[in-house]
Amino acid sequence: MMKSKKIRDTQSNTDSVFENFSSDWWNDKGAFKPLHSFNLLRVKYLLDSLDLPNKNSLKGKSILDIGCGGGIFCEPLARLDANVYGIDSNESSILAARKHAKKNNLKITYKQTDIKELKNSQKFDVITCMEVLEHVDDVQIVLKKIKSNLKKDGLFIGSTINKTFFSFIFAILFAENILKIVPKNTHEWKKFIKPSHLKKILIYEDFKFIDFKGTSYNPLLNRWKFKQDKSINYIFSARL
């Protein structure tokens, strides 16, 4: 019972925050403006990590997006012909995702659930977990479940926030309270994850070819870029 509860808590702490902004998912000037611009980097990193012959197509690839929200990351993947499956524990977010996908004639499967509900027999070529792990109570339990739903040689890719003094200053103090570029109370610093800690868990769970890349956001230009420094945000990939 404890194991199920811990997985259930994966996104529950932020549900109330995202509930208040659920109608704003597809307003690229609103609360989720940074996530819309982050897509350029996220899609590029995913494509580079897969190293496909055709960089403009994900045809034939099955992708699970955990914590999909309103579908911001799912839609560009669907436009690249991937078979996309998005899950989120927040009902309003899933409804917003379905509505927007239907409006744009995109075939994406959305379900209100968390990863613990997925059968182990449901296997994916790629599992993405973008801006989710920093809300999780027990990262290792979540990674175990991700591992069970990945195909052999499958790719796990995600982005999260480092646990440093700088991440507290910029991701919480500035981003939430001063600049207000993300909803207030979105993050808890104690749940942020150092890359070294995440790498240990990935290795323990038999992931290989682990890669970390720093990312940074310029709120004035609304632009993200890759960088060597991982002291605030970073993106990562690993294979089974």
Where do the structural domains in the chain lie, given as residue ranges? 2-239
**pLDDT attached to residue 194:** 97
User: Which stretches of the chain score pLDDT less than 70?
Assistant: 1-22, 174, 176, 179
Check if the beta carbon of residue 26 is closer than 8 Å to that of residue 96: yes
Q: What share of the chain is helix, strand, coil (3-state, %, to 5)?
A: 45, 25, 35
The correct answer on CATH 3.40.50.150 for the domain covering 2-239 is: yes
Report DSSP state, residue 80. Answer: T
β pairing state of 223-227 and 83-88? unpaired
Could you report the per-residue pLDDT of 166-184, keeping only the tens digit for each?
A: 988 878 776 767 767 777 7
Query: Which ranges in the chain belong to alpha helices (H)?
Result: 2-20, 33-50, 74-79, 91-103, 139-149, 165-167, 195-204
d(CA 26, CA 5): 31
